[in-house]
Amino acid sequence: MFPWKDKNSHKKNESNLTRGLFLKNESLKPLGDQIHNYIELNSIDLHKALEEFSSYGISNSKLTQFLHLKSIEAKIETNTESIFESSQYYVVIDESLSENKKKQYKEALDRNEFDNWYEKLKIRFYITTEWIMEDWAYKNNLDYEDYNEISPFSPQDCKVDGVDIDVKTTVSIGSYHGLPYFTRNNQVVKDEVQVAITSSVPKSDDKYSHHFILGIFDSSNYELINLDLNFLSIDSHLKNPCYFHPLQDYFFSSYQYENMDYDKDVIEYWLQSKNITAIAYSISNPLGYFENALKSKIGEAHYGLITIVLELISKKSLYLLPHYFADYLIQKIQKKENIEINLKDTIFSIYKPNEHQEVYIDNLFKLFEILPKVRCKWHPEEGIRDMEIKFIDGHIPTFQAVCSQDPEKQTTIYTYSWKTGQTLIYSSEFICSSPECGGLTHKRKDYESKQMKIYCKASCNKFGREAHKSKFS
Ligand SMILES: [Zn+2]
Ligand SMILES: [Zn+2]
């Protein structure tokens, strides 16, 4: 029998003293040693162990820190799941919407001068996504005011918890993806708080539509961040999914975690088996041990990214990481610098992006990987080493390899299709066959003729927009 469990009081007092000294001694050891050599060895539950320490008046700060991290990790997981669930909407317009929105839908259809299905679908989607914003606000007990109820031409759609919001959506039908989140007016681009919600239907007349709340963009969230965005600027007219972050982070302070100080050995032990997220979300000062831990995971070539992560942690703005990460990758690509492939996993283990952000970032990695295969369309001996890379802003950007002999000759290596909205990435066989065009083509079965057709950039004289109008329709 263990002496401290002995009922004999004399022996018990004596063994209490021994036990106390033993525990005191344990509590000072590095966390890994405590857990391996004492707690796990005796199959003691971590919470029970901490209780025993405190019953002897011993504060085991290392174990306390570890349990705190575990509770934060669990909260982050729950939050991530609930953000995902509350962002998904399946809508039947005649049934799901509120009475007000049904009325606005009917009025908007009556007001509509264009008698075509596409315009009607756009109306259906913008009313539906406004309703989703309304529904989300009510489900989260936030004040909601519908400006469209007063005027359908109101520049802002609604006010949620005191914030004026413009709801933006995309139109996707089957494999076609429309151009999203375009804002014309410069001042509006700067001042407007936007909520982006995707809209898609399998077929144009489908009763059900699927929607995903990508999140919110508010340029004031960037004011305190001491970092530059070189390509994906906050006043861009065309925003991609990486600009938007969860509504929950924006509206609820409960999505922030208290500032903690962790011992070096606690950080080291945690990072052996768990991912960085819980520490990144709660550490009060990320410099020092944590910074070193990051450096052990991220190669020297990417220390610039560590600066980004540390700044976002210290400003409690980790949700902006997908935006800064995408911008960082574009800069690396444009400068033709190396990108380590495991970088993505490390960054995603600090902040988990949504699936749309992941696709956007994955595609940038694909672009990086094909760079060595790129050849100038006009001079096959000319590789990417000899050429500059030109970036053109867009919700999906365009990258072109510029000929070193004639800068007017540009080979497109990354872009989107004006026909289907899909991302196109270089492969030598997809380069346009028209002698003067360096565009990227893709094939698509024509809806009416059922024939495969080739599409190049909109301005291409052989496979562009006009060419398709005159020759093919
Ligand atoms: Zn060339
Ligand atoms: Zn072409």
> Which pLDDT score, from 0 to 100, does residue 17 have?
83
Q: What is the pLDDT of residues 308-342, one digit of tens each?
A: 999 999 999 999 999 999 999 999 999 999 999 88
Q: Does residue 64 lie within any of the structural domains?
A: yes
Same domain, 77 and 92: no
> Which pLDDT score, from 0 to 100, does residue 184 have?
57
Residue 430 C-alpha to ligand 2 middle, in angstroms?
10
Kind and range of the H or E element at 26?
A: helix 9-28
Q: Does residue 427 lie within any of the structural domains?
A: yes
Residue 388 C-alpha to ligand 1 middle, in angstroms?
11
Residue 345 forms beta bridges with which residues? none
b/e per residue, 93-118, with b = 16+ CB within 10 A? beebbeeebbebbeebeeeeeeeeee
Q: Does residue 345 lie within any of the structural domains?
A: yes
Ligand nearest to the CA of 456: 2
Name residues of the chain where pLDDT drops below 70.
1-12, 179-190, 471-473
Whether residue 387 contacts residue 404, with contact meaning beta carbons closer than 8 Å, is answered with: yes
> Which pLDDT score, from 0 to 100, does residue 472 have?
45
Residue 436 C-alpha to ligand 2 middle, in angstroms?
8
Domain count, the chain: 4
> Which pLDDT score, from 0 to 100, does residue 204 have?
85
Residue 430 C-alpha to ligand 1 middle, in angstroms?
17
User: Looking at 306, 336, 360, which one is the last position of a domain?
Assistant: 360
With vertex at residue 308, the alpha carbon angle to CA 302 and CA 311, rounded to the nearest 5 degrees, is 145
Q: Does residue 332 lie within any of the structural domains?
A: yes
Residue 442 C-alpha to ligand 2 middle, in angstroms?
10
Q: What is the pLDDT of residues 74-104, one digit of tens each?
A: 999 999 999 999 999 999 988 899 999 999 9
Same domain, 19 and 129: no
Ligand nearest to the CA of 462: 2
b/e per residue, 21-39, with b = 16+ CB within 10 A? eebeebbeeebeebbeebb
Domain that holds residue 422: 374-472
Same domain, 216 and 137: yes
CB within 8 Å of 339: residues ≥ 6 apart: 302, 329, 332, 333, 365, 368
Taking a 5 Å cut-off on Cβ, the residues next to ion ligand 2 are: 432, 434, 437, 439, 456, 460
Residue 268 C-alpha to ligand 2 middle, in angstroms?
54
Phi and psi at 111, nearest 5°, equal -70, -25
Q: pTM for the whole thing?
A: 0.91
Same domain, 15 and 58: yes
Same domain, 388 and 462: yes
> Which pLDDT score, from 0 to 100, does residue 87 have?
96
User: Looking at 198, 220, 242, which one is the last position of a domain?
Assistant: 220
Residue 401 C-alpha to ligand 2 middle, in angstroms?
15
Same domain, 414 and 324: no
Task: Mark residue 207 as left, alpha or beta (left: phi above 0; alpha: psi -120 to 50; beta: remaining).
Answer: alpha
